[in-house]
Chain A
């Protein structure tokens, strides 16, 4: 059986153990396994594809370089997403300031690695409209609610995992998800063609 196949069958815990012992192929499997979810979370928090890619890559490298700091109390993915949410939050503030002083721009953003999943330009435009609408709504809710909701809706973390990431009780996590959803729904209410 090829090594990559064997690696793909290992649990995160086993891969982390091997990677900490210097096994680069175990590290590579962790990297490949979790880059996507880290990127999707960063994207939802930043609302900008290229910034999300940069933040994700930076966080993945840091996480791999500092596996020794991972205490194993939570899962690897939970630990990684904690790093990503905090970094994305700060990257978002940095980007806002860039835009404010006119050094950057909030130009149109492809929002993903593939050029487009549709051949129909009207549908692509429609998706971009939806993305802008949702990003605007996400921008309006407080960062803590936004992070919590993204970890729940995008990463699929459990209430307990989010509580671990955010260092708050599970009840607080559930309240934040509820409040975030209610606010998002009210901001999107009345948007034509949803």
Chain B
């Protein structure tokens, strides 16, 4: 039995090695026994540092926030068939601006006394209360205009600026493959950092 096979079996159990043979090897091989000892150290520290999960009350608040955000998302969809082409886009854009204004108004009211902090992207938190009372107000607001479009509203000294961006389909298998660049999130990241 090779040491490499033993440590691999310990790290990623496959059942291919006979447990009795494995135990026998560990009893007679100082190198593998040391590896197993370090493995149990790691397991212990991993367990000891596992974060606490939200309480039922915290989950209630999180769901209330999510539910409100989802309601806000579905609102623009009703605009889809009201008028084709540009009017629809204008209506959606008006909604985006109104939504952004609502977010910013609520945020500035909540955080009036706080110093400005790093730019933050708020995602359709139009009708929902903030989950974090300590968050800074957003200076960049992202609003879904349509299924494949988002509006980015940036608040600067010269007032709000709106930008409509087309999006690729969300969370399609290929777009989130581990070995591909995460263009969608990278795009948000670059927006947030501007």
Contact = CB atoms under 8 A, between A and B. Distances in A.
Contact of B70 (A39, A61, A93, A177): A61
A168 interface: yes
B15 to A, nearest CB: 12
Contacts of B45: 130, 133-134, 188, 194
Contact of A83 (B52, B131, B171): B171
Nearest to A150: B46
B99 to A, nearest CB: 15
A111 B51 contact: yes
Contacts, number: 155
Interface residues of A, number: 72
A73 B173 CA distance: 10
A28 B67 contact: yes
Contacts of A66: 170-171
The main secondary structure of chain A at its interface with chain B is helix
A49 B66 contact: no
B94 interface: no
Nearest to B57: A113
Interface of A: 24, 27-28, 31-32, 35-36, 39-40, 43, 49-50, 52-54, 57-58, 60-66, 69-71, 73, 79, 82-83, 85-87, 89-90, 93-94, 97-98, 103-104, 111-114, 117, 127, 130-131, 133-134, 144, 147, 153-154, 159, 165-168, 174, 177-178, 181-182, 184-186, 188-189, 194
23 contacts: A36-B53, A36-B54, A40-B50, A40-B51, A57-B131, A60-B66, A61-B123, A62-B123, A62-B170, A73-B173, A79-B171, A86-B176, A89-B182, A113-B54, A130-B49, A147-B178, A166-B178, A174-B12, A177-B11, A182-B7, A188-B42, A189-B38, A194-B45
Given A36-B54, A112-B53, 14 more contacts: A24-B67, A31-B66, A35-B53, A35-B62, A57-B66, A60-B62, A82-B171, A98-B118, A113-B52, A117-B52, A178-B7, A181-B39, A184-B42, A188-B41
